[in-house]
Structure 1
């Protein structure tokens, strides 16, 4: 038995994505011919060939719910001249087309060396010092997003579904008992190197789906977990800890944040598990090792 939730708007199959690009053309005049799909996990992201524009389509109900927040955060960062991706100007965003939520962004050419942990530390220190966060910025509620994804899985076995729900309960209980050492404030929410672009004027931050008010330790956790779990060639965590000034792995609550981060890495693609079959083998590998409490086997990034 497997659990499949049918999205009334049609879901994000590749056929539906191309249909949406056609609808976007009719709405904005942007030509989708030759558009390159550069990411298809919890969001589908295209780079247009005919204009310096990136198209971002929310990939689940949870992602769609966050899009208005993403727009507000992007405008707040622009107003503070913070180095981040910029919304395409001249349009009322987000766009709502055929039940989907779409945002359009200025393309940032990737030039120069790959950003490292030191570059991310600089971006995070600056973000954590910004004044006056946008109105309505939510409190950090990481399990809400995970549970939303578990409510709309594609081809998830019942036993795996039950296990992940139990994980949510256990992790939520552990989080409630943590005493964070750093002062809370605005956090990016998914601060790893995949969300840093080597722009022509220096590294810029992207992907604000998880931005909110919460513990700063959470912004330091993804790179630390990446060093321990993902098969990366470099140790960006050491540079992040040195340049930010905090080694989150030395904090007693880090094992709970690691468990939460890995739970999110397992569940992030559940709403498109059938729609994007290329990720299936890697997801099964992650699920199998996570369920076995195997903390040493390496994972690969979703492709």
Structure 2
């Protein structure tokens, strides 16, 4: 197989990187299975309960080092996170590709319910400052960065998205937060939490940042509403967390910014993953007509 898989690799490139990473830490890559391949190639080994995550060439190595140090800190605290496998050996760098290794946790067929995500997220938001410098959350800057890299949308669609982020950035100046600044997961949702026996653990710390917990909470609400989990799932989350972001006056602004971030991120990826384009354009059409209940397809 020579065609690129998601993540920008060809199969042969991915297999070579995997073999070399496994050799470096004494693991066997035979019969490994590609679990996910979007921004990163995420591969489950058959020989050991280990997941190997291979990042694109050009990924910021300093950020990967930060993520590893941060997760090691969480592990030392006993925080409910998917643990690194042999954290002292990480990250590996193979031909410019940062590689991290994680403990594989077998999963049932059903995702972690939103209510179960509340406890680890609440604990995260209560932690002290970590011994790792975290970037301050800046959603508007991230949206504009994605907009600058989009090559697949029509000009009228780009104009709409640019105007929308400008309006929301202005509206954000009038938002008064109620919760104290905290460590943020950055993208907490059903896909970034796993079952670990009877408890839920968080995973995928690439978006970890420092900022207002309201951002994490509105992400859960958006995922429940847009991806079919429904009001009951969100209400269980809000009750378990102890605070309902939808009852806060700043909710509409953060909701709209979170949804815009999700759209522009996927629009920027559509250059290399054209199958995403039709769903991105459908979401934009929904925003234009103010359809807050439009069901989104997972990309």
Q: TM-score range by the shorter chain?
A: 0.7 to 0.9
What's 1:4 paired with?
none
Q: Does 1:23 align with 2:17?
A: yes
User: Matched residues in 2 for 1:33 and 1:287: separation?
Assistant: 43
User: Matched residues in 2 for 1:190 and 1:293: separation?
Assistant: 24
User: Matched residues in 2 for 1:27 and 1:108: separation?
Assistant: 20
TM-score by length of structure 2 reads 0.85
Q: Does 1:297 align with 2:291?
A: no
CA 1:174/1:42 → structure 2, altered by over 3 Å: closer, same or farther? farther
After superposition, what is the alpha-carbon deviation per residue over 1:61-93, rounded to whole angstroms, capped at 9, x for unaligned? 677674233222211111101110112216642
Q: Does 1:12 align with 2:7?
A: yes
What's 1:279 paired with?
276
What's 2:222 paired with?
225
Structure 1's unaligned 5+ residue stretches are: 1-9
CA contact (8 A) 1:111 1:199 kept: no
User: Matched residues in 2 for 1:284 and 1:63: separation?
Assistant: 29
Report the alpha carbon displacement of residue 147 of structure 1 after superposing the two structures with TM: 2.8
1:142-157 equivalence runs, <5 A: 142-153=139-150, 155-157=152-154
CA 1:60/1:288 → structure 2, altered by over 3 Å: closer, same or farther? farther
CA contact (8 A) 1:113 1:198 kept: no
CA 1:272/1:65 → structure 2, altered by over 3 Å: closer, same or farther? farther
Greater relative contact order structure (CA < 8 Å, 6+ sep): 1
Match of 1:68 among 52, 55, 65: 65
Number of residue equivalences? 292
CA contact (8 A) 2:124 2:184 kept: yes
**SS of equivalent to 2:178:** coil
Report the alpha carbon displacement of residue 202 of structure 1 after superposing the two structures with TM: 2.2
User: Matched residues in 2 for 1:135 and 1:34: separation?
Assistant: 36
Structure 2's unaligned 5+ residue stretches are: none
User: Matched residues in 2 for 1:38 and 1:233: separation?
Assistant: 27
CA RMSD after TM alignment: 2.8
Q: Which moved more, 1:268-277 or 1:119-128?
A: 268-277
Q: Does 1:110 align with 2:107?
A: yes
**SS of equivalent to 2:187:** coil
Q: Which moved more, 1:70-79 or 1:27-36?
A: 27-36
User: Matched residues in 2 for 1:40 and 1:63: separation?
Assistant: 18
User: Matched residues in 1 for 2:155 and 2:40: separation?
Assistant: 24
What's 1:176 paired with?
173
Match of 2:195 among 193, 198, 221: 198
Q: Does 1:133 align with 2:125?
A: no
CA 1:264/1:34 → structure 2, altered by over 3 Å: closer, same or farther? farther
